[in-house]
Amino acid sequence: MIFDFPVLQLAMTIVAFVSTILGLVIGYQAYRGFRRNDSRSMRQLSLGLILLTAVPYTISFTGTLLIRLEFVPVSTQTPIGFAARVVQLLGLAFITYSLYSRS
């Protein structure tokens, strides 16, 4: 099953996985900054970065894997994509809030 992927799909899967890991690293570093400085805006920034990067890629990666392995029907592809986009929007909202908050 997994070895039937065309090369481009395999490359996309690897890029999504690496993006998830990098998103978690960036979010974790921002969280460490929040813990060091006890800054509310830094907490919002770290949450926003995690929601913008790691969570949507995780949703998409897991959803694609479940569809490819036929654990869920292909018809769930659109709702999975929508959920990923909503989480990205929330991430952007948290980042925007962190930039304009006064703490």
| Three-class SS of 25-90 | HHHHHHHHHHHHHCCHHHHHHHHHHHHHHHHHHHHHHHHHHHHHCCCCCHHHHHHHHHHHHHHHHH
pTM to 2 decimal places: 0.76
- pLDDT tens digits, one per residue of 85-98: 999 999 999 999 98
Domain hosting residue 31, numbered range: 2-100
Output the six-digit token pair for 60.
């998409």
Output the six-digit token pair for 33.
């900054």
44 burial (CB, 10 Å; 0-12 / 13-18 / 19+) is buried
Give the confidence band of 17 by pLDDT, cuts at 50, 70, 90: confident
Q: Number of folded domains in the chain?
A: 1
Give the confidence band of 2 by pLDDT, cuts at 50, 70, 90: low
**Residue 82 confidence (pLDDT) above 70:** yes
